[in-house]
Amino acid sequence: MAHRYTQPDLMELRSDDLETQELTLNVGPQHPSTHGVLRLVAVTDGEIIKSLEPHIGFLHRGMEKNSEGREYRQLIPLWDRNDYLASMHMDYMTTSAVEALMDLEVPRRAEYIRVIMLELQRIASHLFWFASFALDSGAVTPLFYALKEREKIIDLFEMASGARLLYNYIRPGGVRADITPAFMEKLSKFIREFPRYLDECEQLYTGNAIFINRARDVGVLTREAAINLGVSGPVLRGSGVAWDLRKDEPYSIYPEFKFDIPVGERGDVLDRYEVRFYEMRMATEIVRQAMEGLPEGDYVAKVPPSPKTKAGEVYVRQEAARGELGCYLVSDGGRKPWRFHVRPASYLNLGALDTMCRGYLFADLIIILGSIDIVLGDVDK
Amino acid sequence: MIIDSATIWEACRDLLMAWGLGYSAAQVIILLLAFLVVAVFAIILVLALVLLERRLIGWIQLRPGPNRVGGRTGWLQTVADALKLLYKEDIVPLNADRPTYFAAPYAVFMPVLLMLVVLPFGVAIINGSYRYFVVSDLNIAVLYILAMGSVELIGVIMAGWGSGNKYALIGAMRAVAQLISYEVPLVLALVSVVLFAGSMSLVDIVHRQSSTWAIFPLFPAFVIFFITGVAETNRCPFDLLEAESEVVAGFHTEYSGMRFALFFLAEYLAVWVMAALIVVFFFGGWKGPMFLGEGGLWFTSFFWFMAKSFFFVWCFIWFRGTFPRIRVDQLMVFSWKVLLPLAVVQVMIVGWGITYRNPWFSANVIPRVTVVEAHSGMVGGFDYMTTPETLRHLTTPELVAFGWSVLGAIVVIVLLGAMLYRTILGFRPSREFQREIELKNMRLEDAKGSE
């Protein structure tokens, strides 16, 4: 790590007459850029971070235990609230776990609608990440531009599901409501315009020399460290590991679509940034393909209002906006899960923060934290 | 006895003395009055500036900005904010260093206010001689400005230390680092201006730009001064010491109520002062097309000064709407490795130009019209009202500069117009949305009509 700031020998040479002290800095839980109620205890030498310890759990709601007392259809709106910026992915997580224990035949139209929604949700989530990341780096304007585009996606979700944030849309057997021609019209308009908007954003922000200087070679996470720490999603791909569950462990109808997996080279903040932007372009491409191939037919299979699963256990995982979103479900054959465990991507990605931050400046900490893209609801469950 | 006078305040003093007051008494009264006028002007300016910033940032960020208090324009918003701050509780942290904590806001605010003392706002002709709108035409005004700029930072350090807060301390330490790195190129940029003008008085510096604005021969110095000026006012992208995403609010994290308001006032006043200094040093101060002639000189000169300075305020606001924040070590690297060598080269070039009487540099050192001639009105009006007669006698650099200044005047007027238009009339963020609502209403009306 040639570019990391190392402790100069000067300090040791003059240690007899110069006394310095390490500063323990408490960042959060009330700090403008911890993305929620996260507390970071940083030991710094001046502004250089020596070590960092995230303290989590301020938002713990006991959702896993809570799930054990609920029927499967009730789990969907509950887990919506876990990662509130990517509700569709949470819906799909619960649904796919239940479906895996039910041996359900999902109609093809429903699968296509699901893919459209999941990829739109990925774009929306990445747009929100872009907004907050730009804010962390000190630029306020991209926030408004990104949220303006995200608003269009949310309008689409509202047309489909009636809700704007927590959709409760994907359910065992299919989706809750069919999509309308008006929705398709609006969606095709969005897909047409969105790549141009991304170009605009890159012109405004990506090409900025100040941003490049701040993001390049900062918060480096090597390939080995990334794998050892169990990070996933854009953080892992930014570190140069081409691991995407949509390709490597295909679920739903993803094998039918053509898309690329962006991979970083240096594993720094800029790589994670680029990976997310490329993913937005690819998600647009997938949505376009899904729109073209959208078959007619049922949008939901026949499922009883409160389904029963067979006894057994299952682990399903999917590539959500923030990384690998896994769900471990144990059922005793009733209407409620016996054990419901979720592997949130934000939680494991946050674990890599200390490795990424050591040796960098305090100002880098904020931008590195922004580049991980955590949602505290997802971390604390 | 009438003492030879040059500022408008001295003219007023002469008036008082003509009424029979003693010199000292008249001087004290007039100086107090002058400072009062300037201070009140500054406060009103800041109130307008905050509103302007919020409206313009709103325009950049696709949102309306303040649009409730005082009607659609939201012109009472800052007044309401100031009143709110007055009513807020004044919280003092338990582990604050109390004397430092209390003194810091004044130590930050007063130097910025004192900078206004030497700023020349304009000129009028009274009884055949120039009277400048400046409280005191100091002959070392450039040094004075630099000193005041540095004193302001002592206030910042006092606030950071006195608050007893780690974020505030980090913010203050960043201020020190920033001061050391940007002050050197700033001073060197001003050295080339002073060499060019041959004087440290701001009035003189403006006068020496009669035929050529200093930006044309001194463009690199202008760039350096502009960048370091943004750093001096702690504005984006150099707002390191109050970077809200990193150190919460920097040195004023622990301040609330009116003490915070003083920091706020100081920041915005410093923005305008810096814009005004850029205008004075590089854009000919109050000079511009004096379309009203000698009688309206007091108005036209003031107008051009304010128009130009607000153009640069607009640039500052524009920066804030565009750039991310630079990192503290990158600022220092940029300052020492890029700006400083550039500034040194600039000083060398100016020195060379003056020594060898290059027309680009010496045109202003040896004025075509001496001050005495101009004062006595011998050359028909005054030298910077360019007539077709004088245009024919201009040298090539002067002609180019004249062309650029005319173009610049048009640009300033258009941008200022757009700025005022947006500030007063506001911005509707989503025309499409508006149109959709209108269409919906129309459809509803149609439906009603058909029923």
- Whether residue A379 is predicted with pLDDT greater than 50 in this model: the reply is yes
The chain A residue lying nearest B238, using CA atoms, is: A138
**Is B263 part of any domain?**
yes
Q: Which residue has the higher pLDDT, B232 or B451?
A: B232
* Residues of B whose CB is below 8 A from A27: none
Give the span between the Cα atoms of A42 and A54, in whole angstroms: 9
Query: CB of A72 within 8 A of CB of A335?
Result: yes
* Residues of B whose CB is below 8 A from A144: 61-63
Question: So what's the pLDDT on residue B431?
Answer: 54
**Is B307 part of any domain?**
yes
How confident is the prediction for chain B on average, in pLDDT?
Answer: 79
What token pair was written down for B414?
Answer: 């258009």
**Is B349 part of any domain?**
yes
Q: Do A210 and B237 touch (CB under 8 A)?
A: yes
Residue to mutate among B176, B239, B242, B245, with most A CBs inside 10 A, is B245
In what helix (H) or strand (E) does residue B235 lie, and over which residues does it extend?
none
pLDDT digits 0-9 by tens, A179-229:
888 899 989 999 998 988 888 888 888 888 888 888 888 888 888 989 999
Question: So what's the pLDDT on residue B389?
Answer: 64
- Band (pLDDT 50/70/90 cuts) for residue A306 is confident
Q: Do A144 and B63 touch (CB under 8 A)?
A: yes
Are A236 and A106 part of one and the same domain?
A: yes
Question: So what's the pLDDT on residue B427?
Answer: 52
Question: So what's the pLDDT on residue B367?
Answer: 44
Are A168 and A254 part of one and the same domain?
A: yes
Does ipTM come in above 0.85? no
**Is B449 part of any domain?**
no
- Whether residue B429 is predicted with pLDDT greater than 60 in this model: the reply is no
- Band (pLDDT 50/70/90 cuts) for residue B374 is very low
Question: So what's the pLDDT on residue B390?
Answer: 63
Q: Do B327 and A205 touch (CB under 8 A)?
A: no
Are A272 and A368 part of one and the same domain?
A: yes
Question: So what's the pLDDT on residue B365?
Answer: 45
Question: Which of A143, A210, A364 is opposite residue B323, by nearest beta carbon?
Answer: A210
**Is A288 part of any domain?**
yes
The chain B residue lying nearest A132, using CA atoms, is: B245
Local structure of B323: helix, strand or coil: coil
**Is A218 part of any domain?**
yes
What token pair was written down for A194?
Answer: 């969105």
- Whether residue B278 is predicted with pLDDT greater than 90 in this model: the reply is yes
Range of the domain at B131: 8-379+390-443
Are A266 and A339 part of one and the same domain?
A: yes
Question: Which of A31, A134, A361 is opposite residue B324, by nearest beta carbon?
Answer: A134
Question: So what's the pLDDT on residue B3?
Answer: 37
* Residues of B whose CB is below 8 A from A33: 244-246
* Residues of B whose CB is below 8 A from A139: 322-325
**Is A2 part of any domain?**
no
- Whether residue B450 is predicted with pLDDT greater than 70 in this model: the reply is no
Question: Which of A47, A138, A148 is opposite residue B62, by nearest beta carbon?
Answer: A148
- Band (pLDDT 50/70/90 cuts) for residue B379 is very low
- Whether residue B42 is predicted with pLDDT greater than 70 in this model: the reply is yes
Are A34 and A171 part of one and the same domain?
A: no
Provide mean pLDDT across the span A280-298: 90
Question: So what's the pLDDT on residue A17?
Answer: 62
**Is A297 part of any domain?**
yes
**Is B348 part of any domain?**
yes
Are A36 and A183 part of one and the same domain?
A: no
**Is B325 part of any domain?**
yes
Q: In 10 A of CB B148, how many CB atoms?
A: 20
Single-letter amino acid, residue B446:
D
Provide mean pLDDT across the span B332-353: 85
Local structure of B319: helix, strand or coil: helix
Are A38 and A127 part of one and the same domain?
A: no
Are A39 and A118 part of one and the same domain?
A: no
Q: How many CB pairs under 8 A join A and B?
A: 81
Are A218 and A351 part of one and the same domain?
A: yes
Which range is most confident: B20-24, B125-129, B440-444?
B20-24
State how many domains chain B has: 1
Are A301 and A221 part of one and the same domain?
A: yes
Question: Which of A31, A138, A205 is opposite residue B325, by nearest beta carbon?
Answer: A138
* CATH number for the domain harbouring residue A145: 1.10.645.10
State how many domains chain A has: 2
Which range is most confident: A13-27, B97-111, B355-369?
B97-111
Question: So what's the pLDDT on residue B382?
Answer: 41
**Is B409 part of any domain?**
yes
Interface of A with B (CB under 8 A): 23, 25-26, 31-33, 46-47, 134-141, 143-145, 148, 204-205, 208, 210-211, 213-214, 361-364, 366
- A15 CB burial (10 A radius; 0-12, 13-18, 19+): exposed
Q: Do A204 and B322 touch (CB under 8 A)?
A: yes
* Residues of B whose CB is below 8 A from A141: 60-61, 321-322
**Is A4 part of any domain?**
no
What token pair was written down for A246?
Answer: 């949509």
How far is B436 from chain A, CA to nearest CA, in Å? 14
Among A33, A55, A77, identify where a domain stops.
Answer: A55
- Band (pLDDT 50/70/90 cuts) for residue B377 is very low
The chain A residue lying nearest B60, using CA atoms, is: A141
* Residues of B whose CB is below 8 A from A135: 245
CA atoms within 13 A on the CB side of B359: 10
**Is B53 part of any domain?**
yes
Are A90 and A48 part of one and the same domain?
A: no
- Band (pLDDT 50/70/90 cuts) for residue B401 is low
Query: CB of A8 within 8 A of CB of A23?
Result: no
How confident is the prediction for chain A on average, in pLDDT?
Answer: 86
**Is A335 part of any domain?**
yes
Range of the domain at A249: 64-380
**Is A269 part of any domain?**
yes
- Whether residue A146 is predicted with pLDDT greater than 50 in this model: the reply is yes
Q: Do B236 and A138 touch (CB under 8 A)?
A: yes
